[in-house]
Amino acid sequence: KHKLKISFFNCSCLQYDNQINIRCPQYVLATMEAFNSKDLAMKAQKKILSSMANKSTVQRFIDDTTSEILDELYRVSKEYTGNKGAAQKVIKNLIKIAVKIGVLFRNNCFSDEELKLAQEFKKKLHTGAMTAISFYEVDFTFDKTVMSDNLTECKDLLLKLVNSHLTSKSHDRISHVFNHYSDPQLLTKLYDPNGPFRPNLTKICKGLDKLVEDGTI
Locate the domains of the chain by residue range. 63-214
Residue 150 has pLDDT above 50, yes or no: yes
Contact 84, 33 (CB under 8 A): yes
Side-chain-side CA neighbours of residue 113 (13 Å): 4
Intra-chain end-to-end CA distance of the chain, in Å: 35
Name the band, by pLDDT with cuts 50, 70 and 90, for residue 13: very low
Q: Which fold has domain 63-214?
A: de novo design (two linked rop proteins) (1.20.1440)
- Region 176-186 average pLDDT: 98
Name the band, by pLDDT with cuts 50, 70 and 90, for residue 107: confident
Name the band, by pLDDT with cuts 50, 70 and 90, for residue 96: confident
In this predicted model, which residue has the larger pLDDT, 128 or 32? 128
Give CA–CA dist 66/42, Å, rounded.
11
The rounded percent of the chain whose pLDDT value lies above 90 is 61
Q: Which of 12-16, 17-21, 100-104, 122-126 has the lowest mean pLDDT?
A: 12-16
Give CA–CA dist 215/160, Å, rounded.
23
Q: Considering the entire predicted model, what is its pTM?
A: 0.76
Give CA–CA dist 123/158, Å, rounded.
12
